[in-house]
Structure 1
Amino acid sequence: MNAPLFKGVITALITPFRDGRIDEDAFARLIERQIGAGVHGLVPMGTTGESATVSVEEHQRAVEMCVSVASGRVRVIAGAGATGTDKSIALAAHAKRVGADGVLVVTPYYNRPSQAGMAAHFSAIADQVQVPILLYNVPSRTGVDLCNDTVAALSAHPNIVGIKDATGDLGRLSAMRNMVPEGFALISGDDPSYPGYLAQGGHGVISVTSNVAPEAMVHLTRAIWEGDLKAAWTCQARLIRLHRALFLDSSPAPTKYALSRLGLCEESLRLPLLACAEAVRPEVDAAMLEAGLAPEPS
């Protein structure tokens, strides 16, 4: 049996800022916290990392830092998504050069390419850079949907090893499993539906919630792997409010607010994103308490 290259809890890391720059000390602490909690992988400079608002130099520095701090203890899958194929190729090449284990490439956004255009985009990256690639489909953000037939065709490329599916459509997973090779990594990108995704044959999650509650997400995953569904559902019941609260304002604003309440980083974001709305903060606090996390006093 071919095992997927990527599986388990893979955290879509936020990028902490201080005084308008990446807070490298906080970033290193966040990475160490994740590894200490037992996560299986990290994604620096994905969309949760505010990749759309940083410079190329900052993007590359964050990837380099993550690879260096992780130091082989967990897999690092660097974000390499862009609206233009040449830029994605350059980001993927840099990630490979500095030692990332793979790259996560979102479907091009805003320009809304056809299925044929997306297939050509991913194929060009896979042809140019010899690095494992995870496709990333998130239609609610990009305006395009990478259909199962296109995924199946792309899965024949030796460098395309899996997909992050953030549609939340569990029926899509059941169909996709029958269309891709054994060992093609099927990774959820939707925390609320993740237990169902894993139970139906998925291999893991690229999670926003695990920024805040990594131990709980690891516990949930292990429970399902071990067939202890009662423990898994109990864990998910404690997390579901947090899953939802972290998207009550533009992501990653609520996540950064939650991490600031844990004393782990400032909640600064890059424009056009703003700090978490005042009306949302009490719900994030309540969700953290329900998940067993104790925010610091305001």
Structure 2
Amino acid sequence: MQKRFSGVVVPVITPLNKDFTVDITAVGLILNQLAQNNIDPLVLGTTGESSSINEQESLRFVQAAVTVKGTHQTIYAGLVGNQVSDLIKRGNQYIDLGADVVVATLPAYYILTPEQMEAFYIQLADHIKGPVMLYNIKATTQMSIPLAVVERLSKHPNIWGLKDSERDIERMTTCIETYRDREDFSYFCGWGAQSANSLQLGADGIVPSTGNIVPSLYGKMKQEALLGNWDAVQHYQELTDIVAILYQQDRTLGQSLAALKVMMHGEKTCNTTMMPPLTELSARETELIIAKFDYYKKRTAII
């Protein structure tokens, strides 16, 4: 069963010029690499520093992504913020620019009750004139959308899926079993280390940030999963895990994003500029991560 939303979706970094504007040339390079590997982009997600990018640059990013996207690429656009009317406005702006679906996190300042979470997503789905997906990421919102709330929201005609980045095997398995046969609702695993496992269990898609730097490996993982070659899928999981460790281990989420941009800069894809309050890595850290990445590329032939 081919669902409306499925496959590998990479939450792309937001490439920035030194003046903190979006680097449009780099957007083209990134999306082209993804398109060559049959991968879709999620712009302005957590990996894209979405909470720090202003309205003007967010719109420029979405416009650029829509302009350069491949023929069969789906554009997922992230919605992050605390002001509901602004989120509705931004969501509609993204849809008007040509985004195919918006992916919304919970507002993160106040801890919400399950009833408030549900009401929030219903407001978005009722007023945004394009498909909406839920995005559960406890690491940044400090909240987990209860599965009972997800189930009720899944019946809304304008809510098309869930991207779940919570590190919880039981929750992941339950979601896959619940929505595997639902034509109108997709489950995406946002836990990179469980990409292969979730696909084998029947997830509709995966959302790995490591795909920014090794899209070819995820393209191959997707191909092997479609063929049911699970040993090969696991092989690509192991290779991508090596890369993930390089930029994630012993770093905060923000620091890991800076490290990811360093690796991509080494591949001549983007600059290392981070949007404040995040900062670039030190010169020493930059030198070390590039050396380690070069070593692993030679040892494993991952690129």
TM-score (norm 2): 0.90
CA contact (8 A) 2:259 2:289 kept: no
The structural deviation recorded for 1:73 is 2.7
The structural deviation recorded for 1:293 is 4.6
Q: 2:229 corresponds to which residue? A: 228
- Which residue type is aligned with residue 187 of structure 1? F
1:286 aligns with 2:292: yes
1:262 aligns with 2:267: yes
Distance 1:193 1:284 in 2: 26
Distance 1:285 1:150 in 2: 46
Change over 3 Å in CA distance of 1:198–1:284 after alignment to 2: farther
Q: For residues 245-273 of structure 1, give each alpha carbon's deviation from its aligned partner in whole angstroms, at most 9, with x where no partner exists.
A: 33233241111011001111111101111
Number of aligned residues:
292
- Which residue type is aligned with residue 48 of structure 2? G
Distance 1:179 1:204 in 2: 15
The structural deviation recorded for 1:238 is 1.5
- Which residue type is aligned with residue 137 of structure 2? V
Q: 1:246 corresponds to which residue? A: 247
Distance 1:121 1:208 in 2: 26
Unmatched tracts of structure 1, length 5 or more: none
Provide the secondary structure at the position in 2 that maps to 1:43: strand
Provide the secondary structure at the position in 2 that maps to 1:157: coil
Distance 2:41 2:238 in 1: 24
Q: 1:142 corresponds to which residue? A: 141
Q: 1:34 corresponds to which residue? A: 34
Provide the secondary structure at the position in 1 that maps to 2:133: strand
CA contact (8 A) 1:38 1:215 kept: no
The structural deviation recorded for 1:103 is 0.6
Provide the secondary structure at the position in 2 that maps to 1:168: coil
- Which residue type is aligned with residue 23 of structure 2? D
TM-score (norm 1): 0.91
Unmatched tracts of structure 2, length 5 or more: none
Q: 2:25 corresponds to which residue? A: 25
CA contact (8 A) 1:245 1:284 kept: no
- 1:101-250 alignment, distance < 5 Å: 101-180=100-179, 182-183=182-183, 184-248=185-249, 249=251, 250=254
Q: 1:92 corresponds to which residue? A: 91
Provide the secondary structure at the position in 2 that maps to 1:22: coil
Distance 1:282 1:4 in 2: 42
Distance 2:231 2:202 in 1: 18
Provide the secondary structure at the position in 2 that maps to 1:57: helix
Provide the secondary structure at the position in 2 that maps to 1:193: helix
CA contact (8 A) 2:166 2:190 kept: yes
Distance 2:287 2:193 in 1: 20
Change over 3 Å in CA distance of 1:191–1:284 after alignment to 2: farther
Distance 2:30 2:258 in 1: 16
Change over 3 Å in CA distance of 1:266–1:231 after alignment to 2: same
Q: Indicate the structure with greater helix content.
A: 2
Tell me which stretches of 4 or more aligned residues in structure 1 moved more than 6 Å.
Answer: none
Identity between Structure 1 and Structure 2 (%)? 23
Distance 2:275 2:246 in 1: 20
Provide the secondary structure at the position in 2 that maps to 1:270: coil
